[in-house]
Structure 1
């Protein structure tokens, strides 16, 4: 629902309206407005690049490589991730549709040997990466209350996923992310394969598909920081390419500042790059359906860290159909 009065639909009207909400109790509505109305393109791009950060942690990248989900079926895995997250964002944690999406995520994760540390790190990328992207390229930066609401939204998601010891503030999420990357970023051939597959997928999204593949790759690598490129063994692009790429995004932000305020939500399911379900989908049909023993993280099966624990009360929920 777009609740901005017509008479105040100026470029900063939504920021001012959100300032009247409480980030401790209204975090879902604040984050929903940010992701669907205020910064939909920016947040989607930031979360897409957040994927690469998770690959650079070998315990995560190796697992994704072993399952083959981000190599053989990368389009579907990308779509499923966005659609499941969007169901929670659109409908909320207590609605039938949101609960169905959380149940699907939890049952999917239960089939893999994922440590709580890795789960917390991935959650931190959802909080920190969009904040940093908007600081660098957004038409405005997030306010302190908006950052607080973003962190509280993902804290609630983490609670529903049964993740213990989730950071309390966006600053604590930032500290966790930076420390985890400093300790765990390193090269792994499986991680690199998954990153290459994702990079190839991003090159097919409009309007990227109109540009030569080497140009798209160079642009993407320009937006990665040096520790990430080093962990994935990606060459740094020429300095001029990196500068021009980042300037182009900052210029876009300045242009967006003068565009009319969005009055209709921008939904992930409507993006041209989402192509797995032309006939519609059900939330309970999204994702993977692993069977048997949990898939281990180590490439040789030697990683014996405990499987991520799920509480039985987090597995309930309903179903929904999106057409």
Structure 2
């Protein structure tokens, strides 16, 4: 542990058991990271909050065109952008392109299912993350819109070329990073107690959320017949490690995570020192599954109650009975049909491996669907708008109804 750090927050539990399993060095890093935000983004946010409209215009210009377009009035923003623009030494842009293709080949329905019942169920099971989300105000009342906005970020990130400098995914990831910094500043101004759960949206929470978009969905998809070759997984992790770089995750947490085994070890360390589920986690999970079911209805064309049952069944299958029970996830009868979905996915993946044109067609179909989704989105996302809530907190808003 760094010598100037305070004692571990009360939210970290089972530390002795973690030291025995993972070693004192990794637990010391975990303890440091749970008390650390994102210094570059935090400094840039302070600059943006004092610089008014001129600073926001400079931010938009820099995000899209680079740090070189900013003058000396915004040194913290320039430092953030320069760090984002500096390619990590391991980065291979050809592998980024292959990682994007491997992700898009999953297909829009299963990407959505892995995002909701897979990724977000696991994200919301963290009491510290749930505490931040609930304290930002209206997440539970705006669950559908927030799921859509998470999907927008995911789509922009995954689309071909999305992570090139100034492209949609690149810009959206940096906007999310600045949103997180703004939430940290606002919650601390409202009396957030670091001694309880560490820094708001701290490095451990950011790493856990990153695992919710890598290890958790990759494992989940494999359980339902959507497997990946070793080469595909290598490219997927290369792709998502670059996303972690853009989001400001400390490379000491993800730098050596290049496969499922290493990712699983990191997640086991984080989950093994985490508090149990709370009412906040159960509420967020329940409303998220309802929102995902509503969003899937146009694609699945099934009765809404049946789709909701499917999301509960998938979430329970993906995360196991112990976590599902803690999150109050139901046991609907449709879970008995899940082996048929798994078989269908295995057959589809085998067909695509035998016939590369089929895989290319699946990728094109996913890209077309995602571009259509982006075209129909109304209004900016929460992370694209200035903070408008009490104390500078972001407010999620549905766009006004059309006349």
**TM-score, with structure 1 as normaliser:** 0.71
- Equivalent in 148, 153, 161 of residue 239 of structure 2: 153
1:212 aligns with 2:283: no
State the SS of the aligned residue for 2:130. helix
- Asked if the contact 1:203/1:209 (under 8 Å) is kept, the reply is no
1:199 aligns with 2:268: no
Counterparts of 1:154 and 1:290, CA distance in 2? 31
Cα-Cα RMSD: 3.2
- Equivalent in 100, 103, 114 of residue 35 of structure 1: 103
Q: Report what 1:118 is aligned to.
A: 205
Considering fraction of residues, name the structure with more helix: 2
- Asked if the contact 1:54/1:60 (under 8 Å) is kept, the reply is yes
**TM-score, with structure 2 as normaliser:** 0.58
Q: Report what 1:98 is aligned to.
A: 169
- Equivalent in 323, 329, 332 of residue 234 of structure 1: 329
Q: Deviations over 1:113-151 (max 9, x none)?
A: 211111011101211123212322235x21212212222
Q: Report what 1:108 is aligned to.
A: 179
The higher-RCO structure (CA 8 Å, 6+ apart) is 1
- Asked if the contact 1:81/1:287 (under 8 Å) is kept, the reply is no
Larger Rg: 2
Task: Report how far residue 262 of structure 1 moved.
Answer: 4.2
Q: Report what 1:266 is aligned to.
A: 366
Counterparts of 2:147 and 2:265, CA distance in 1? 27
Q: 1:23 to 1:137 in 2, by over 3 A?
A: farther
- Asked if the contact 1:87/1:101 (under 8 Å) is kept, the reply is yes
Q: 1:290 to 1:27 in 2, by over 3 A?
A: farther
Q: 1:69 to 1:150 in 2, by over 3 A?
A: farther
Counterparts of 1:23 and 1:122, CA distance in 2? 21
- Equivalent in 138, 141, 144 of residue 225 of structure 2: 138
Q: Deviations over 1:245-285 (max 9, x none)?
A: 4303212213424474342141496499x69x746556797
Counterparts of 1:118 and 1:219, CA distance in 2? 26
Number of positions where the alignment pairs a residue of Structure 1 with one of Structure 2: 268
Q: Report what 1:46 is aligned to.
A: 114
1:247 aligns with 2:339: yes
Structure 2 unaligned segments of length 5 or more: list them. 1-89, 184-199, 353-357, 394-403
Counterparts of 1:181 and 1:56, CA distance in 2? 10
Task: Report how far residue 293 of structure 1 moved.
Answer: 5.6
Task: Report how far residue 227 of structure 1 moved.
Answer: 3.4
- Asked if the contact 2:180/2:201 (under 8 Å) is kept, the reply is yes
